[in-house]
Structure 1
Amino acid sequence: MSLANLIDPITAEGGATRFSGLDNWMQGRTLYGGASALIAYLAAARAFPDLPPLRAGQVAFVAPTGPEVELRREIVRQGRNVAQVRSEIWCEGKCTLTAFWLFGTAREPNAVHPPAPVENWPGAPEEQEPAMKGKGPAFIQNNFEILRAQEMRGPGDPVVRRWARLTDREGLDPVSELILLGDVLPPGAMRAMERQGPISSINWSFNLLDTEPTTRDGWWLSENASQHADAGYSSERLRLWNADGKQVLDGMQCVAVFG
């Protein structure tokens, strides 16, 4: 019932909302980032069900989010083709997450440029061995299956690539699934750290390349790659591909690197 505990309390009315049984989704003293982003997205999508498909999201993880929250959402602007919606999570009178969602109808294309094929294809998920077994935060162990998707282990190039899927996807539409899963891996900067220490996502911006993404058996190839790390922060590129190697999400993230 872990996934139901996460999504069922979210209503079209928003306002005061209490979640229970979320121990499996915690990352330290806050909800895992993908889980809190999903709450903010569903708060907007359920409040305004007639919106066009989601195209992009900008999420700021402001402070720890707990089980008792206030959900706020509003349409900032709705034009002929594009609607822009803000949603926020508040805890104890303070904003802990703010998100900006861009919804847009499809138009006759005036430019067509498909994403480049995935480089260094790791092979199908059915061919890979488990990774992070018994390692990593509890929310990964309780909610995700992770498979190896690169030969490198330990320090090296600041790239982390894994096959990932949710153990429970019942009741999730494909876009919600990507939001919940898109932030699952540790940052690529982890491989460049000189010593072990805590890491924390500060924000996450992404574009959906497919508004109706599909894959095989729930498997998505996830990659986090540090583009630059210094002064306690890492700029990361986050990408997701389906099981056939088609890219479905392109994103960026700022990560705080402590220690």
Structure 2
Amino acid sequence: MSIANLLDPITAAGGETCFSGLENWMQGRTLYGGASALIAYTAAIRAFTDLPPLRAAQVAFVAPTGPEVELRREIVRQGRNVAQVRSEIWCEGKCTLTAFWLFGTEREANAEHDAAPVEDWPGGPDEADVAMQGQGPAFIQNNFEIRRAQDMRGPGKPVVRRWARLTAREGLDPVSELILLGDVLPPGAMRAMRRQGPISSINWSFNLLEPAPETRDGWWLSENASQHAAHGYSSERLRLWNADGRQVLDGMQCVAVFG
């Protein structure tokens, strides 16, 4: 099932919604974080169709999300240039995801500089080796193509970098594609773990650097880098670049690292 088909049940009215085919998007006992964030985003933009472009978001993964949900969304504030929208997913009477979306019209630039270029450019995705084939959770095997973008393997510097693209992205706009892809890799802390164990995203916040991001052949360079890991948690920086090395998303995430 493509992600576009997964989003079909979402209506402008919100409320009680039932999804099918979720087995292709599961990560353990819950819906993959990028897919659940995209459901919340889609619920917001289908309810409020005159919003300006998305600029930033804060997403909290509260509890496991299943197939039968209630979608809630509201405009918290609508200003002349900026709209702030809250959307939530509820399952069995409990909130499982809450998200705050910031939409803003373009302003005349009073400050302008490009994001720093990619360090240690890995080369384009066409020459890269396939990664995670037959490995990883179901949502990766069913929906993504992953290729290597760093020489490192196993323990080492707590950075995971891969080329990633959706195998079926028809009908999906570029911003929705980035929301879906932004949380696709395991955390950088995985390379610093003393032993294998479960990991779980707790939240995710990001800024979109381009309101209409573009790339070639669907490829995006994704990087998760642990900035600090201790006490069972890792603070991660998440970034996405297009196939030409232009950064399009800058984010942070808290990850639970279990023993």
Instruction: Give the secondary structure class of the aligned counterpart of 2:90.
Output: strand
Gaps of 5+ in 2: none
1:222 corresponding residue in structure 2: 222
Give the counterpart letter for 2:163 in structure 1: W
2:114 corresponding residue in structure 1: 114
1:143 corresponding residue in structure 2: 143
State how far apart, in whole Å, the 1-side matches of 2:87 and 2:223 are: 27
Q: Kindly provide the CA deviation profile for residues 218-256 of structure 1, in whole angstroms up to 9, marking residues without a partner as x.
A: 000000000000000000000000000000000000000
2:6 corresponding residue in structure 1: 6
1:234 corresponding residue in structure 2: 234
Q: Are the equivalent residues in 1 in contact too, given 2:4–2:172 (CA < 8 A)?
A: no
2:187 corresponding residue in structure 1: 187
State how far apart, in whole Å, the 2-side matches of 1:153 and 1:120 are: 16
Is 1:165 paired with 2:165? yes
Q: When the two structures are aligned, how many residues end up with a matched partner?
A: 259
| Mapping of residues 1-259 of structure 1, within 5 Å | 1-259=1-259
Q: Are the equivalent residues in 2 in contact too, given 1:56–1:205 (CA < 8 A)?
A: yes
Q: Are the equivalent residues in 2 in contact too, given 1:27–1:139 (CA < 8 A)?
A: yes
Once the two structures are TM-superposed, the CA of residue 198 in structure 1 deviates from its matched residue by: 0.1
State how far apart, in whole Å, the 2-side matches of 1:4 and 1:222 are: 22
Q: Are the equivalent residues in 1 in contact too, given 2:200–2:255 (CA < 8 A)?
A: yes
Q: Kindly provide the CA deviation profile for residues 133-183 of structure 1, in whole angstroms up to 9, marking residues without a partner as x.
A: 111101101000000000000000000000000001011000000000110
Q: Are the equivalent residues in 1 in contact too, given 2:4–2:169 (CA < 8 A)?
A: no
State how far apart, in whole Å, the 2-side matches of 1:234 and 1:4 are: 32
State how far apart, in whole Å, the 1-side matches of 2:49 and 2:99 are: 17
TM-score (norm 2): 0.99
Once the two structures are TM-superposed, the CA of residue 109 in structure 1 deviates from its matched residue by: 0.5
Once the two structures are TM-superposed, the CA of residue 58 in structure 1 deviates from its matched residue by: 0.3
State how far apart, in whole Å, the 1-side matches of 2:114 and 2:141 are: 35
Once the two structures are TM-superposed, the CA of residue 4 in structure 1 deviates from its matched residue by: 3.5
Instruction: Give the secondary structure class of the aligned counterpart of 2:163.
Output: strand
Once the two structures are TM-superposed, the CA of residue 3 in structure 1 deviates from its matched residue by: 1.9
Q: Are the equivalent residues in 2 in contact too, given 1:56–1:101 (CA < 8 A)?
A: yes
State how far apart, in whole Å, the 1-side matches of 2:125 and 2:30 are: 31
State how far apart, in whole Å, the 2-side matches of 1:197 and 1:66 are: 23
State how far apart, in whole Å, the 2-side matches of 1:169 and 1:5 are: 10
Q: Are the equivalent residues in 1 in contact too, given 2:2–2:169 (CA < 8 A)?
A: no
State how far apart, in whole Å, the 2-side matches of 1:226 and 1:68 are: 34
State how far apart, in whole Å, the 1-side matches of 2:29 and 2:135 are: 18
Give the counterpart letter for 2:174 in structure 1: P
Give the counterpart letter for 1:138 in structure 2: A
Once the two structures are TM-superposed, the CA of residue 5 in structure 1 deviates from its matched residue by: 3.6
State how far apart, in whole Å, the 2-side matches of 1:20 and 1:2 are: 12
State how far apart, in whole Å, the 2-side matches of 1:25 and 1:126 are: 26
Q: Are the equivalent residues in 1 in contact too, given 2:203–2:254 (CA < 8 A)?
A: yes
Q: Kindly provide the CA deviation profile for residues 83-113 of structure 1, in whole angstroms up to 9, marking residues without a partner as x.
A: 0000000000000000000000001000001
Q: Are the equivalent residues in 2 in contact too, given 1:2–1:24 (CA < 8 A)?
A: no
Q: Are the equivalent residues in 2 in contact too, given 1:2–1:22 (CA < 8 A)?
A: no
Q: Are the equivalent residues in 2 in contact too, given 1:224–1:236 (CA < 8 A)?
A: yes
When the two chains are superposed, the root-mean-square deviation of aligned CA atoms in Å is: 0.6
Gaps of 5+ in 1: none
Q: Are the equivalent residues in 2 in contact too, given 1:82–1:105 (CA < 8 A)?
A: yes
Once the two structures are TM-superposed, the CA of residue 27 in structure 1 deviates from its matched residue by: 0.6
Q: Are the equivalent residues in 2 in contact too, given 1:146–1:165 (CA < 8 A)?
A: yes
Instruction: Give the secondary structure class of the aligned counterpart of 1:89.
Output: strand
Instruction: Give the secondary structure class of the aligned counterpart of 1:42.
Output: helix
